[in-house]
Structure 1
């Protein structure tokens, strides 16, 4: 397997942090990273393509097709450098996932990144009203560094294996002695569910710890609209259920 890496720019970065958010459970990590890229106006400096990505194409805003790519972006803000790993796909199998993560970590080492952050979701049977956030990683000092009241470190026995790039990056970073941490937010474990609430909780943690000055009001408005729609749907189905319930005096033949 091979990866084509296209360099778009050679940014000047000072001991950057890498934040990864690729598609996964509830797309929690992807939503969070895409939000940061957009609102911080991060700039793409590298593109990765590969035959190990899903065998499909995407239709862009110009109604033309594009092969799947994963991009790396950067932003220098408040005296710190941040790199973002974002895209619409992940490698399709275990070997290509490991190989892809090695390629990413080569870039991380090239720019002398000081830590790696991966983001993801924890699937639940129901949609949580207030998603909890958990943290784990390969370095105790880094885990203790990121503080927030709503973040728990009690994952053992509750959270299963962290699958895909979000997990493998943590493990391979340890082999290269790069401190790495993962933030995982609860979300509804349905394939069509968008974990905006979970992404918002993770963004709140990163916003405070990294001093990103992100305005999360836009996400709050989306969550409010989603909650209203959810309540409307519940009322709708309750009314249907009432209308089809048989009356006590109804008799049936046959």
Structure 2
């Protein structure tokens, strides 16, 4: 078995654009795409399962297990139809990643998509206060088309290889002559960190360029909550470190 594709419907799409956001550094792309799917009320039209996905199951809200799946959603807007690629996993190795991306690009060609957008994060040793966003791709015209003051094209020597679906989709799109671009936001390179601030910066760029009419205030509230939690944790750890210096008597572990 390679990939099992289940179709829910065959939507009528107008000049569709694919936006990919699967798990990765800080889950920046996943957070951004999941936010768009929820707030634009996008509809699922394809579900993909495979033995090439991680050998695990997830426990859902009903306390039942589910095999990992990746899905495609769509939303028709005034100017374009937007297709989203979302899920909780990526293919487990290089060969399956390439095969998976070819399957996705078959769908892209089937619906005559005009461009592909991939989203991801750039890991830093510290959490950036204002994450910078970078763009690269396989087509200079497409890169120049997406304009925003906070987006830089100076990646060479700073960003290493773009690993996983976010990178391979760009390369394989070039082979099929499909214009593709990637937006990468800075985030804290810790495995447990959620790059909500980086996702917010990418969403702002997409919102303005694609006229998605997203209200990003909900993310702003979440960012404030995360920052408050981080400050509390920082203060707590600081107090813990000082505690042995302040107490000369017996200390306890537990």
Structure 2 portions without partners, runs of 5+: 249-254
What corresponds to 1:91 in structure 2? 91
- How far 1:59 sits from its partner (Å)? 1.2
User: Shift of the alpha carbon at 1:240?
Assistant: 3.0
TM-score, normalization: structure 1? 0.95
* Residue matched to 1:139: 139
Three-state SS of the structure 1 residue aligned to 2:182 is strand
Alpha-carbon separation, structure 1, partners of 2:179 and 2:227? 38
CA distance in 1, matches of 2:226, 2:48: 34
Post-superposition offset of 1:92: 0.2
TM-fit CA distance, 1:227: 1.1
Counterpart check, 1:19 vs 2:19:
yes
Counterpart Cα distance in 2 of 1:65 and 1:241: 41
Segment drifting more, 235-244 vs 47-56: 235-244
CA distance in 2, matches of 1:202, 1:117: 11
Using the size of structure 2 for normalisation, the TM-score is: 0.95
Matched, 1:157 2:172: no
Partner of 2:123: 123
1:244 deviates by 2.6
Aligned position for 1:211: 211
* Map of 2:109 onto structure 1: 109
RMSD: 1.2
Corresponding residue SS for 1:245: helix
- 2:177 matched residue in structure 1: 177
Question: Could you say which residue in structure 2 is the equivalent of 1:43?
Answer: 43
Shift of 1:246: 6.6
Bigger mean CA offset, 227-236 vs 179-188: 227-236
Deviation at residue 42 of structure 1 after TM alignment: 0.1
Q: Does 1:30 pair with 2:30? A: yes
Say which SS state the counterpart of residue 20 (structure 1) adopts.
Answer: strand
Runs (4+) of structure 1 moved beyond 4 Å?
none
Deviation of the 1:228 alpha carbon: 1.3
Q: Please, which runs of 5 or more residues in structure 1 have no aligned partner?
A: none
Paired with 1:196 and 1:142, the residues of 2 have a C-alpha distance of 26
Work out the CA distance in 2 between the residues paired with 1:68 and 1:240. 40
More displaced stretch, 233-242 vs 38-47: 233-242
Number of equivalent positions: 248
